[in-house]
Structure 1
Amino acid sequence: MALRKHREGELVIEQTRDIARLRTLLDSGGMITAGIEWPAACYLLAFYGDEAIGAIGVEPQIDAALIRSLYVIESMRRSGIGAALVAAARKAAHTRGARHLYLFSTEAGQFFMRLGFERVAMPQLLDALSCVPEVEYYRARPDELAREIAFHLDISRDGLIER
């Protein structure tokens, strides 16, 4: 159940600490849930009315953050919800001091590239985020890591007013 009532037909994205609900949603999409209870992480849920329809996580470390677990239920895909979740995660990362955003992807690379992300060498991601849970997950599973592609987005200028 949502902490507050949402209006029917309205998309709302909000931060959550409801790990059980988050885990259920991510499990339904076959997403990795290891480490989602890490206290420093920020998770956002997208609601359509009171139904949780999407999620994304931010795992920050000093001046970088990892976006993880982007998931939108199938019936709501291709309606801008994924992009809205990434935008919200970008803001959440920036407010936590991140100047760089990274992520792993195997199938959604083109989606993230449309949002400004660029492919980078895996060691760059691993060095920048050595202690966050999803990086530790993949370090412990080199065969899975070998299938992933690393992406990066510079967010150091987010929030600056240019004159």
Structure 2
Amino acid sequence: MSFGTLPNALVVIAVVVIVLARRLSWSELENSDTDVWRGPLVLMGVGVYQLYDRHTGMGFIDVVLLVIGAAVALIAGTASGRVAQVERRAGKVFFRLGMPGLGIMVAYLVIRLGLAGVGHLLGASMSGGPALMVSMGANLLTQSVVIQNKARREAEEYSTR
């Protein structure tokens, strides 16, 4: 592990811990949605910036692993968003992942870290930190979109009662 990947790994770990802690407990889904979107977008932005900075050394294996990582992130984000619990309390919408969502997130992280390991063994230059950041950001953003859609449907259903 080079000195450059250590800060990336620490950022990814810190974001994962913070987001999981927040999403496992009941949180209000605010009307502005910025709280739900901000972290994933920042994570993706930093990852894309770092990938762009290194894009000249990108090979076929790098592209394949990035595509597989993105697909896994989108599938896991959709699945964890679908199993998330959404409740309406006193006119406000609250959500949490719960244990099924945690299981999906843990499985996603194991698969994603496995892809990074395979990439390292195959000599891919993009399988580490930046790719992990983009993948994790895409996962959390997808999860957020699914949860917000679920909350909107619940709010519409609640208003028609």
The answer to whether TM tops 0.5 is: no
Q: Choose between structure 1 and 2: higher helix proportion.
A: 2
Measured against the shorter chain, the TM-score band is under 0.3
Highest relative contact order (Cα 8 Å, sep 6+), 1 or 2? Answer: 2
